[in-house]
Structure formats: structure tokens, C-alpha cells
Amino acid sequence: MKNQLVYEKENIYFAITLLFSILTYIAFVFSIIGIAIITGMIIFAYFLHALSMASIRRNGVRISEHQFPEIYQKAVDIAGKMELKQMPSIYVMESAGFLNAFATRFFGKNMVVMYSEIFDLISEDKDDQLLFVLAHEFAHLKRRHVLVHFLLLPAMFVPFLGEAYMRACEYTCDRYAAFYVNNMMASQEALTMLAIGKKLAHKVNKEAYIEQLCEEKGFFAVLSEMMSTHPDLPKRLNALNHWNEPETYPLVKDKRWIAIAGITSGLVLFLLFAGGIGYGIYKFGDQTFSEEDYTVENVSPLMTAIESDEGIDEIQKLADAEKDINAADGNGATALHYAVYYDNLQAAELLLNKGANVNAKDSFSTTPLMDAVYMPSLEMAELLIKNGADPAIKDESGFTAYDYAKEEDYKDIMSLLEPYNE
């Protein structure tokens, strides 16, 4: 029986998930963004995990030779029989009534964390039930399920694939636990208590519980399990009994067409989702934008000279040649707007002297005075006010130049505009 501890499908699902993940990682190698994303995800996940484990190690009760030594020695015996190279650190933490346990690693050290509700079993003389849970988690470490988790991360995003592998791992660990605890009745009760709790688990009719699988075989019942990382509890009981006594306990299986329908529907949704992302990347993410993509129409040589920070003599020359000093570009901005954008006080004064409209509005109803506030430039705002800029004008959002100065807390500009705000 020891040769049959690994669930038949675990290695198959592992090979598929490993192949998919490796191909995904290879694809990421050719994408700088992809490498950055997956590296960031791993670092962030590991950081949060390390914080959580550090808290447990500080606050949880560590089971050892000096802390509940009897149960610790039994755990050591099981770890030895499993031929674990390293005895995992066992911690118990308060659980507010939840029944759970999990295996993990912390900076290369194996850990098993048990919720106090499960550890309480020792006060009820149910050591074997507790040991089943411990052995189950030891089996995860023995099979390196925790260690390969990050390696298989990409496959976990494929509908049903990652879940199928993790369910197979659970079946394997149930077998390991039952084998090394060597108490089938306690093993069954340990699984049953996850469904109904510790107090009543021993009273549950296990055969009737498994029979529920035959009553609940609809599409959504099957699909719910396929989307879960753990098999349904009656299935785990049935699988454990079948592994132990295959002739006495036949394996209850879901209808094949329902499983196929569930997988098909999930894959269709996944392909639609992945296709949408792929199309978006192809359509938008891979585009290289040239200067033409950002070119504003109808930009005059005068505007270009101001933008390029040409000397005042060149700007003077172009302004003299300009037929309409208030001509606007494709965004409705005039040369005076440009002078304010680029904080060119000399150009702004020159344009105002040549009759530039100090209250001209661009396509967003923004005036040069509002632009001076955005900069912020007190000197530019003073020049515009001196030449008749109207601080009471509102843009398309209903804000005045004073409103923007107040919003950004530009106190010197607020002092300048405040008399006009009354």
C-alpha cells in the first residue's frame, strides 16, 4: 500500500502545469514588461507571506520538547517514518472557531501551522485525529507541494488546471496521513469534522454522507468542485475508503459529460478573456508613438519659436510678420498661451504690446492667467493683470484663476488675485 500513496493523477497534472508554467516563463523572458510584472508579483507575494509567517512565529505557540512534549514526540515519530529531512516547526494559533491547518516555508524552513480549534482535539483524547491533520500537512512538505508553488504560479491562472493539480495533491496527502497514522476510523473522523465540527463528527453516518454525492450530481455541483483547490469532503472520504479497500468501497465518479461541459465552458471564458487582453496588447500596448501622434495642428512659426526658446529678437521678427497675433492652434491656444506655458516673460510682454488678447480662451476655456497660476508664476500673473487680464473669467469646469490658486495653496498668487475675487 505504501507504493500507492501518490494519487494516480497528481504526477500527470504536475507535468501539465509544469510545462505550461515553463512555457509562460520563457514567453516572459522576451518581454521586459512581463519580467517586471512577474518579478513584482513574486516579490510582493513573498513579502506579505514573510510578514504573516513572522507574526505567527512570534505569537503562535510552538510545539516542542518543552511545549506539549507528548504530541510533539508523536509528530516527530511520524516525520521520521515519512523520512522528512527536516522536522517541521509546528505552531498553534488562535482561530476564532475555524478548523484549518496548512504547511508552508519561511526562509527555507518548513512550518506547519495549526488552528487552535484543531489542536484542542488532544483535550478530548483524539490524538490520532490531530495526527492525521499533522501528517496531511507533513505530506505536503514531503511531496514538495509548497516548494513548487511559485514555479507553477502561471498555471494557477488557467481555469481548472491549477485547481485539478491541487485537488490531486489533497488526495495524495490524505493517503499519506491515513497510512502513517494507521487509524482509518480516526482518519475518516478527521475529514468529517471539517464538514460538521469536532463534537458531532463521530456521530455522522459516513456512508450516508458519501451517498450525497449520488444525489448532488448536477452541473453546478460538479463545476463548484472543479473550481475549488480541495475535493468535496464526501469525495475525500470515498477516495480514502476506496484506496484502503477498493473491492468494498467503489469509487463514486461524476458524470463525464458534466465534467466535459464544465471544462469546456471554463476554457471558452478563459480564451475570450485572454483573447481580449491579447487584442488589447496588440492594438494598443505594442504601439510606438511618434511625434506625429502628439502633433498639434495649426502651430505657427511664432508659437514654435516660443516653444523652442528662441531668442527674443527672433520672436520679435516672427511676431512682426504674423498677420493675426491672436491666431490659435488646433487646441485653441494663442501665441500668448505659449509664452505663458513656457514661462517666457519677455515674449509675453512683447505679444501684449502688439495687441495680443490677454483674455483669449483655448478649447477648454482656459485663459493665459489660469495658465500662469498652473505654472505657478507670480511675475507672469502680475504682467497679465497689469495688461487687463480678467480674474473673474471661469473655465469649462466653472473655476476662476483664483480658485486654482486657492486649490494649490499658492498664497502669493492668491494675495494678488484676492482683490478681484470679491
pLDDT in tens, 189-205: 999 999 999 989 999 99
Q: Is the pLDDT of residue 65 over 70?
A: yes
Q: What is the pLDDT of residue 138?
A: 97
Q: Sorting pLDDT into bands at 50, 70 and 90, what band is 214?
A: confident
Exposed / middle / buried, residue 28 (Cβ in 10 Å: 0-12, 13-18, 19+): middle
The runs of H, that is alpha helices, within 60-96 are 69-81
- Phi and psi at residue 104, to the nearest 5°: -155, 180
Q: Please report, rounded to a whole number, the percentage of residues in the chain having pLDDT higher than 70.
A: 89
pTM: 0.61
Across residues 206-218, what is the average pLDDT?
Answer: 86
CA distances from 110 to 53, 106, 114, 192, 246 (A): 11, 7, 13, 27, 34
Predicted confidence (pLDDT) per residue in 116-161, tens digit: 999 999 999 999 999 999 999 999 999 999 888 777 878 877 778 8
Across residues 259-263, what is the average pLDDT?
Answer: 64
Across residues 281-302, what is the average pLDDT?
Answer: 63
In the chain, the domains with their CATH numbers are 2-182 (no CATH), 301-420 (1.25.40.20)
Q: What is the pLDDT of residue 263?
A: 63
| Nearest-5° Cα angle at 267, 262 to 269 | 100
Distance (Å, whole) CA 155 – CA 158: 5
Q: Sorting pLDDT into bands at 50, 70 and 90, what band is 291?
A: very low
The answer to whether the CB of 389 falls within 8 A of the CB of 357 is: no
Which positions ≥6 away from 118 have C-beta within 8 Å? 95, 99, 100, 101, 130, 133
Q: Indicate the range of 37-46, 233-242, 354-363 predicted with least confidence.
A: 37-46
Across the chain, mean pLDDT equals 87
